[in-house]
Amino acid sequence: MGTIRIGGAAVNQTPIDWDNNVKNILQAIQDAKNANVEILCLPELCITGYGCEDLFLTDWVCETALHYCFKIAEECSDIIVSIGLPVRLNGNTYNCACLIEDGEVKGFTAKQFLANEGVHYETRWFTAWMRNHITTFKYNDTPYPLGDVLYNVKGARIGFEICEDAWRVDRVGIRNYEKGATLILNPSASHFAFGKSSIRYDLVIGGSERFNCTYIYSNLLGNEAGRMIYDGEVLIAHRGKLVQRNDRLSFKDVNLIYVDIDIDSDIAPEVDLTHDDLQKEFEFWEATSLGLFDYMRKSHSKGFVLSLSGGADSAACAIMVAEMIRKGLKELGAEYFLEKSGMQKSFDIPALTSLSFEEQAKKITSVFLTTAYQSTVNSGDETLTSAKVLAESIGATFYNWSVNEEIENYKSTIEHIIGRKLAWETDDLALQNIQARGRAPIIWLLTNIKQALLITTSNRSEGDVGYATMDGDTAGGIAPIAGVDKDFIRSWLRWAEKNRNHTGLALVNSLAPTAELRPSDYVQTDERDLMPYSVLARIERKAIKERRSPVQVYTELIKDSTHTHNEYKYWVKKFYKLWAINQWKRERIAPSLHMDDFNVDPRSWCRFPILSGGFKRELELLDKLD
C-alpha cells in the first residue's frame, strides 16, 4: 500500500461535558488533518467521557453520544478516524469504537472484555460483546454493522482492541491477526498507576510483533471525573518496534503524534523518540500536578487553601501545588495557563509576563495557594518555622494564627456540662481530637471566602489505621496524597528537596512526623503512636493489596530480622484491629487521587464492611503462634 501517515491523539475529557469533549475531538481531528494524517485513533468513550458511571445505563446519554458522533463525522472529510462512545441496543449498553472514513460512518466495533477489578466496575454498566458476532444497528433508518467488526480502508485491514481487550491472555488481537488485520487500533481509558506505562509497552510493542502488524494505542488524558488520572499516553509500534510516542501527563487538551509508515513492510521507520522518565518519584510529581490542575479548574475553584502544619504531609501537598504551577507555565505559558485555570482576571498579564520564570511562578503561587499555620499550646517553634520557610520558598501566601481560644471555649463548655475538668490521663483522645477539629471551621471559612478548594492532607497509611481526626485534619474537598503511603511521602520529599531544588523542605525533612496534639512532655511522634512507617507499608501491601490473613502477613514479616517476632506480632494485630474499626472514616475521606496499583478508597478500589467481626478469630490464631 506504500507509506501512510497514521496518528493517535490523547484528549482531556469530562463526563457529559459535551461542548468540551466535542471541541477537543474536533481539535484533534483538525490538528491531524493539518499534519496530513490519514488514519487517526482517539481514546475510548471520548465523546461521553469514561467516568459517567450509572449515566451509562440511561438511554439519553447514549442517544446524545450518537448524535454527536454523526455530527463529528461530518467534519471528517479526507481522514479516517476512530471515536469512542457507548451504544445502547435492546436494553444493553456496549462500549464501542466508531470508525469514520471521509465523513461516512463505517460501523461500530464493540468491546469484548470488560474491566471489572481494582478501580473498574465496567460490568455494572456495559455488556461484553460476543466474539465473532456482528449484528445490524440502525440510526436514522440507516443500517450499520455493530460488533466484532474489522474494516478494509486505505489498503489496510483495521481491527480493534478496546483497552481491556488487550490485557487478557485470550486478547482480541489474536483473532484480529487470524482475520488478517494489518493495523490494530487500541482506544483506551487506562488509569494512571506507578509503573503501568512499562506494562503497556509490552502490550503494544509485543502485540505489534506477535500479530505482525502496526499498532496504535491512544489513552485518555487528565483528571477526568475526580479520582482517576489518565496519563494520555499515545504509542505507535510496528512489528515489534516502538516508532512513536508522546509526552505523558500533559496539561494540553489535545496531544497528537503521528508517523509515516509502510504497514505492509517489515522495515520500521527510524524516529528520535522523546525521553519518558518512568521513575516513581517523577511520575508522582507529574501525575499529582495534573490531577490537581484538572480538579481545580473542572470544579471551578479559585485556587487552593491548605492548613500547613510544618510536617511532611501538608508540605507534600504545598509542593505539589507549586509544581503544578511550574509545569503549567512551562507547557502552556503564563497567559494560557491562567486562562485555562479560569484565573486570568486575578492578574495583570503584561506585568506578569515581563517577570522571570521563577518570579512568575511565585507570583501565581501567592494567589493560587493560601496556607495557614494554626497553632495550639502544644505546637512547637520548629514546626512553625518549617511551615513558614516552606511557604516563603514557593511563594505561597502564609498566615499564622492561634486556635487556643476556640479550643478552650469548647473545653469549658463541655466541662460545665459534665461537671468535671478534662484531663490527659482520662480524656487523651478527646483532647487530641478537639484540637484538630478546632482548626477546621476557620480554615473552611477562609476557603469559602476565597472560593477555593480546601486540601486535606490524609495519606494512605493514615487511612489504613484511622490515624486522623474526622472533621478535623480530614476536612477538605480533595485528598491528593491519600493514594500513597507515608513512607513514600517522606522519601519523596527528600527526593524533591534534592532533585526539584526545593530547599524550603530542609527543615521539614529533618523533623520526625508528629501530630503535635499532646503536651510536649509526652514526646509524641506518629511512629511512636502507631509503628514504623516502613513496617506499616509492608503490612498494608500484604494485608490489603495481596489480601492475606493476619497469620500469613506475620509469617512473611518475620523472615526479616530487622525487628523482633513480638514486635511484628504486636504491629500486625494493631493494624488489623485499627483497620476493622475505621472503615467509616475511609468512607468519608475526601476524593483521593489514585496513584499506586491499589488504594484504600472504598469508592475506587477497596470495599470493606463498616461493621464486622474485626478479625477476632484470625487474631486469636495469630496469638497462638510463637
3-state secondary structure labels for all residues of 519-586: CHHHCCCHHHHCCCHHHHHHHHHHHHHCCCCHHHHHHHHCCCCCCCHHHHHHHHHHHHHHHHHCHHHH
Radius of gyration of the chain (CA): 27
Residue 308 has a pLDDT of: 96
Q: Which pLDDT score, from 0 to 100, does residue 522 have?
A: 62
Cell of 626: 510463637
Average pLDDT over residues 258-262: 96
Cβ neighbours of residue 487 closer than 8 Å, sequence gap 6 or more? 461, 533, 534, 536, 537
Q: What is the DSSP letter of 456?
A: P
Residue 365 CB contacts under 8 Å (≥ 6 apart), including other chains: 321, 322, 325, 394, 395, 396
If DSSP codes are grouped into helix, strand and coil, which group holds residue 488? helix
- Mean pLDDT for the stretch of residues 153-167: 96
Alpha carbon distance 493, 425 (integer Å): 36
Q: Does position 545 have pLDDT exceeding 80, yes or no?
A: yes
pLDDT digits (tens, 9 = 90+) for 474-500: 999 999 999 999 999 999 999 999 999
Domain 3-268 has CATH 3.40.50.620: no
502564609: which residue's cell?
398
| Contacts within 8 Å (CB) and 24+ apart, 63-71 | 63/88, 64/16, 64/18, 66/139, 68/18, 68/21, 68/22, 69/98, 69/105, 70/105, 70/139, 70/140, 71/22
| pLDDT tens digits, 3-61 | 999 999 999 999 999 999 999 999 999 999 999 999 999 999 999 999 999 999 999 99
Order the strands of the 151-153 sheet from edge to edge: 151-153, 156-160, 183-188, 214-219, 234-238, 241-245
Residue 607, burial from CB neighbour count under 10 angstroms (0-12, 13-18, 19+): exposed
Give the integer Cα–Cα distance in Å for 69 and 337.
30
**What whole-number distance in Å separates Cα of residue 76 and Cα of residue 28?**
11
Q: What is the mean pLDDT of the chain?
A: 95
Digit-coded pLDDT (tens) for 342-389? 999 999 999 999 999 999 999 999 999 999 999 988 888 899 999 999
Q: Can you tell me the mean pLDDT for 158-183?
A: 97
Average pLDDT for residues 568-573, to the nearest whole number? 96
Is the pLDDT higher at 522 or at 81?
81
Q: What is the CATH number of domain 281-526?
A: 3.40.50.620
Helix (H) or strand (E) holding 237: strand 234-238
Strands 39-41 and 80-89: parallel
Sorted by sequence, the CB contacts under 8 Å of residue 174 that are 6+ apart come out as 211
What the block records as the C-alpha cell of 371 is 496556607
Domain limits of the chain? 3-268, 281-526
What beta strand segments (E) does 66-129 contain? 80-89, 92-101, 104-110
Beta bridge partners of 135: 146
DSSP state of 611: S
Same fold, 3-268 and 281-526: no
- Per-residue pLDDT, 521: 64
Q: How confident is the model at residue 516 (pLDDT cuts 50, 70, 90)?
A: low
What is the edge-to-edge ordering of all strands in the sheet holding 92-101?
134-139, 142-147, 104-110, 92-101, 80-89, 39-41, 3-11, 254-262
- Residue 315 vs residues 365, 387, 474, 490, 530: alpha-carbon distances, Å: 14, 8, 15, 10, 21
pLDDT tens column, 48-90:
999 999 999 999 999 999 999 999 999 999 999 999 999 999 9
Rounded CA separation 574/561 (Å):
19
Write down the pLDDT at residue 1.
62
Q: What percent of the chain has pLDDT over 90?
A: 89
pLDDT in tens, 390-445: 999 999 999 999 999 999 999 999 999 999 999 999 999 999 899 889 999 999 99
If one counts every other C-beta atom within 10 angstroms of the C-beta of residue 236, the result is 29
Identify the band that residue 512 occupies on the pLDDT scale cut at 50, 70 and 90.
confident
- Average pLDDT on 505-528 reads 76
Rounded Cα distance between 99 and 149, Å, is 10
- Start-to-end C-alpha separation, the chain: 71
Query: According to the model, what pLDDT value does residue 332 have?
Result: 97
Nearest to 320 by CA among 478, 510, 460: 478
Look at residue 604 in the predicted model and tell me its pLDDT: 83
Coil/strand/helix, residue 458 = coil
The pLDDT of 257-265, averaged and rounded, is 95
- Sorted by sequence, the CB contacts under 8 Å of residue 504 that are 6+ apart come out as 389, 390, 391, 392, 393, 394
pLDDT at 518: 63
For residue 269, the model assigns a pLDDT of 87
**From residue 575, how far is each of 192, 470, 533, 566, 611 by CA, in Å?**
28, 19, 12, 14, 16
Checking if the pLDDT of 314 tops 70, the result is yes
Say what angle helices 334-341 and 280-298 make with each other, to 10 degrees: 60
Q: What is the mean pLDDT of residues 566-584?
A: 96
Q: Span 267-278, mean pLDDT?
A: 84
Q: At 402, which helix (H) or strand (E)?
A: strand 397-402
